[in-house]
Amino acid sequence: MKLKSEINQHIQEAFVKAGIEAEPMSVTEAGKPEFGDYQFNGAMALAKVLGKNPRQIATEIVEKIDADGMISRTEIAGPGFINLWIDSVWMGEKLQEMLHDGRLSILPKAQGVKTVVDYSSPNMAKQMHVGHLRSTIIGDTLARLFTFLGDEVIRQNHIGDWGTQFGMLIAYLETSGEDAYSSLGDLEQFYKDAKVKFDSDPVFADMAREYVVKLQGGDAHCRTLWQQFIDVSLGHCEEAYRTLDVTLTRKDVRAESSYNEMLTAVVEDLRSGTILQESDGAQCVFMEGSDVPLIIQKRDGGFLYATTDLAAIRYRTEVLGAKRISYVVDARQAGHFKQVFDAARRAGFVGEDVWLEHVSFGMMLDKSGRPFKTRDGGTVKLIDLLDEAVSRAKAMIEDRGTQEAAEVEKVARIVGIGAVKYAELSVNRESNYIFDWDKMLSFEGNTSLYLQYAYARIQSIFRKYGEKIDGDILLGDPLEARLGMMLLRFEDALNAAARESMPHYITSYLYELTTLFMKFYEQNPILKEGIPAELRESRLQLASLTARTIRKGLDMLGIQVLDRL
RNA sequence: GCACUCGUAGCUCAGCUGGAUAGAGCACCCGCCUUCUAAGCGGGCGGUCUCAGGUUCGAAUCCUGACGGGUGUACCA
């Protein structure tokens, strides 16, 4: 339920009744339990405008609040804080509605927004490495989240399948043997070998350059080899997607090369829109306040990635009809996207009603704060990272010895991959972050395993109980009330995460919820002898709802839960 | 040089549109398993929120400057 906006509405109504004319202001979640559940701090801000004492304003607002059973108590504190307590009977009823609703009382938007999420975007010339992880995981979370909230999501995997390096690779494929599929088994090695030959063998280098021209000219044989190469490379990516439980499929692929035919038109339309300027022989778009242009067409007539990006933007708005486009791309591209967005708007490729958003994320650094590399200076392959995660999880599970032998592999996969994804998603995406195997695969504190563990313990209670639950949800105990409050905030957390494209809002919420539940559960036995039936039923319902919220929240992150751990 | 961005506990990070005593996890110390899974819970230790000004009733949060780190800066993607 949209708890916060419901409270805001009551405050707003009180404003009207009290004759206060002011911009709507929002309540905030109370910082401490003794300040209630929510607090409204607007009275102080209004004091100056209205020329009144803030406490007096607060009093006038409080007197007019008519929350229809939702708010049980109000208090004016300090200079004019309004503290609000949510009624526990009201909460109990709402919690029960959530429990009996498959979507946890979260209604899909009446008017879904057609949203393009551009993410993952691997380069077909190389194997996926750890640098692709953040885009892939953040983007997939956003796609799942937006979908759940009722938006119409179109995933776009803007794969890099065009450019000069493909000439080299095709030439190498042509000379290295007949069977393309087996020789491409290790793409990384293939690329390195090709590069070595390119640098050392002038005849081969010339051949490679020739192949670029032939490929771009549409030569059938070259296209066939190129297509084989892309198929194999994409196959590798899809293997990583499957391992990661990422929802991208082949139908989401919209390759760079697919925009080729649109590029000339993009340049022409920019020219006729008089946005284009020639500078040093190149066709450029200049932005106000910056002397570094966005180059659309090279002096030699060639197109660049800015051209492709503009074509893609156009396709997304004009053909797909997107109203929000989220680019999940690392922070180094911030300047580029600023220019592309600006050019696209001025060219009229996107209207005022389209929201362009660069969902940027920071770089991955090693422990000494340098860009993350392997010991020999190479990039860490994504698949190696994932294998490592699973094998570490497996070792811990075997060590613990609570799983059936047949289950170990499956559980290790869910736990290990979950840990990697959660570690990426739980930090603010905008900051750089320190990559550390131990931290990433740690299972303590704010990690996926902590949530999965809590979930499994709740399932254990229900296995033991095995009967139908009934009765009211009672929130007598303070911890019970806080848990109930937290459960009701789920939708607010999801909405905030979606509004700002910040997955870590979800993890923070889930961690806080789970911590509360763990405390509650330690102090308030559920099935123990001597617990009154009424209380037991109520606590079982809270436990059930907690489990469902954890499962749904993790589902937004593409992380699975387990009934036993 | 210019632009953007970051600077919170020993380490890794939260801190939502400025709000009441700045929060977690790890590490370290102490306690809790004959009782619903101890991958847990409780307690302790630890911060002049880089620094200096400014705006405000009120600043980790907004503005300016300094210092320090990172990134970007014309025909690669």
Q: How far is the CA of A458 from the C1' of B40 (A)?
A: 13
Q: How far is the CA of A525 from the C1' of B35 (A)?
A: 9
Asked whether the predicted pLDDT for residue A358 surpasses 90, the reply is yes
Q: How far is the CA of A513 from the C1' of B43 (A)?
A: 22
Structural domain includes residue A135:
no
Q: Per DSSP, what are the bridge partners of residue A426?
A: none
Residues in A 397-416 whose C-beta is less than 7 A from nucleic strand B are: 397, 400, 402, 415
Q: Is residue A375's beta carbon less than 7 angstroms from any atom in nucleic acid strand B?
A: no
- pLDDT, tens digit (0-9, with 9 covering 90-100), for A456-510: 999 999 999 988 888 999 998 889 999 999 999 999 999 999 999 999 999 999 9
Shared domain for A81 and A185, answered yes or no, is: no
The strand pair at A38-40 and A28-29 is best described as: antiparallel
Q: Per DSSP, what are the bridge partners of residue A71?
A: A86
Look up residue A525 and give its two tokens.
Answer: 């036995």
Q: How far is the CA of A21 from the C1' of B27 (A)?
A: 53
Query: What is the percent of chain A where pLDDT is above 90?
Result: 71
Asked whether the predicted pLDDT for residue A376 surpasses 90, the reply is no
Question: End of a domain among A86, A114, A137?
Answer: A86
Residues in A 263-282 whose C-beta is less than 7 A from nucleic strand B are: 279-282
Q: What is the pLDDT of residue A125?
A: 87
Instruction: Measure the CA–CA gap between A63 and A89, rounded to whole angstroms.
Output: 22
Q: Please count the structural domains in chain A.
A: 3
Structural domain includes residue A51:
yes
Instruction: Measure the CA–CA gap between A249 and A104, rounded to whole angstroms.
Output: 28
Q: How far is the CA of A443 from the C1' of B12 (A)?
A: 14
Contact A357, A502 (CB under 8 A): no
What is the pLDDT of chain A when averaged over all its residues? 92
Q: What is the mean pLDDT of residues A424-445?
A: 87
Instruction: Measure the CA–CA gap between A426 and A442, rounded to whole angstroms.
Output: 13
- pLDDT, tens digit (0-9, with 9 covering 90-100), for A147-203: 999 999 999 999 999 888 898 898 888 887 656 667 677 777 888 888 888 888 988
Contact A497, A503 (CB under 8 A): yes
Contact A332, A360 (CB under 8 A): no
Shared domain for A65 and A206, answered yes or no, is: no
CATH number at residue A37: 3.30.1360.70
CATH number at residue A401: 1.10.730.10
Q: Is residue A235's beta carbon less than 7 angstroms from any atom in nucleic acid strand B?
A: no
Q: What is the mean pLDDT of residues A402-428?
A: 94
Amino acid type, A374: T
Asked whether the predicted pLDDT for residue A374 surpasses 80, the reply is no
Structural domain includes residue A306:
no
Counting every residue written for chain A, the total comes to 565
- pLDDT, tens digit (0-9, with 9 covering 90-100), for A18-32: 998 888 889 999 988
Question: End of a domain among A224, A252, A280?
Answer: A252
Domain range holding A25? 3-86
Contacts of A58 (CB under 8 A, 6+ apart): A43, A76, A80, A81, A82
Shared domain for A565 and A427, answered yes or no, is: yes
Shared domain for A537 and A389, answered yes or no, is: yes
Q: What is the pLDDT of residue A68?
A: 85
- pLDDT, tens digit (0-9, with 9 covering 90-100), for A81-127: 999 999 999 999 999 999 999 999 999 999 999 999 999 999 998 88
Nucleotides of B under 7 A from a protein CB: 4-7, 11-17, 19-21, 24-27, 35-42, 56-58, 69-77
Residue A400, CA: closest nucleotide via C1'? B39
Look up residue A433 and give its two tokens.
Answer: 């972050």
